[in-house]
Amino acid sequence: MKYRDFGNTGIKVSEIGFGCWAIGGNDHGNSYGPTTDKSSTDAINKALELGLNFFDTADVYGWGHSEELLGKALRGKRDRVVIATKVGADFYQGTGFQTFTPDYIRFALEKSLTRLNTDYIDVYQLHNPPLKLISKEETFAILRELKKEGKIRAFGVSVFTPVEGITAINVGQPDCVQITYNIFSCRPEEQLLPRAFETGCAIIAREPLANGFLTGKYDTAPKFAAGDFRKNWPMEYVQARSDATRQLSFLKKNGHQSMAQAALKYPLLNQAISTVIVGLKDVDMVEENLAASDAGPLSAEEIKQIHELQALGFNLKSSN
């Protein structure tokens, strides 16, 4: 496993991180289908064994279950890991609420600290706030206070669009920005990633496998289980991603490189990326995906072919 600087924070993180959305389970829907706590815990332990040290979760994943599970699995290993979590999806009121007031953030942080069995959070992120809040400097004031108090080591914001990310950097000077970045969704390359690198803001690249499609397992339009948020996607969108995946079949090299490994290498080409977080539900996923860090980089010809397909748009509908 290779490691990178987490922006200007002084924190070192594994270049492949553990995305903890899926391990929250799907009891409340809006996840990646069914999981078991044993499988999830085994995956966490295997990831640690293979050198991964960055775990990205959110309080809303499984309505606290992802944090609880992570806190139990990391008991006695806290000094070996970097824990990132998020705040703002106010599941305490049910679904569909967003709250970013200072009082709520303090309340939610204490809940997360309890579930994670720790007295500090390494990276605390606002969870997809609207642009109108990102545009206000006072939105970030509470995070600066928590950092001064030692409750958090660094703060950031998870965003949907590059414009939101650039605005956050210019207005709030966060330690990190998290955004979707993969072969299909490469818009951050245009302005956000250069701006982040210039300012020393860490970038957490999420969805590097495009919600599973860049694993190559969905080369025909799949049917997703109940509780899997992809089940609600329009069929034409799912079919378009399946078709695009087939165009990338040249990335698979029998015995040497899976499509998932190649897809993970793509965002890691960019020097602005501190870590790429991938959903890991079981040990097999951990072993395959983490192997991408020690494998060789994408070849010049592979990169050229990817860029040519990106220029054509893959005939995909934009997810950003």
Count CA atoms closer than 13 A to 124's CA, side-chain side.
26
Residues 91 and 49 sit within 8 Å (Cβ to Cβ) = no
> Strand 152-158 vs strand 16-19: parallel, antiparallel, or unpaired?
unpaired
DSSP symbols for the chain: --EEE-TTSS-EEESEEEE-SGGG-STTSSBSS---HHHHHHHHHHHHHTT--EEE--TTGGGGHHHHHHHHHTTT-GGG-EEEEEE-B-GGG-TT-B---HHHHHHHHHHHHHHHT-S-EEEEEEES--HHHHT-GGGGHHHHHHHHTTSEEEEEEE-SSHHHHHHHHHHH--SEEEEE-SSS--GGGTTHHHHHHHHT-EEEEE-TTTTTGGGT--SS---PPTTBGGGGS-HHHHHHHHHHHHHTGGG-BTTTB-HHHHHHHHHHTSTTEEEEEEE--SHHHHHHHHHHHHSPPPPHHHHHHHHHHHHHGGGPPP--
Amino acid (1-letter code) at residue 141 = A
Q: Provide the token pair at 175.
A: 């330690």
Instruction: Report the DSSP beta bridge partners of residue 202.
Output: 176
Closest C-alpha among 229, 231, 263, 247 to residue 313: 247
Question: What does the chain come to in residues?
Answer: 320
Residues 183 and 214 sit within 8 Å (Cβ to Cβ) = yes
Which one from 32, 61, 124, 218 is the annotated catalytic residue? 61
The reply to whether 120 belongs to the active site is: no
Give the residue numbers annotated as catalytic, written as ranges: 61
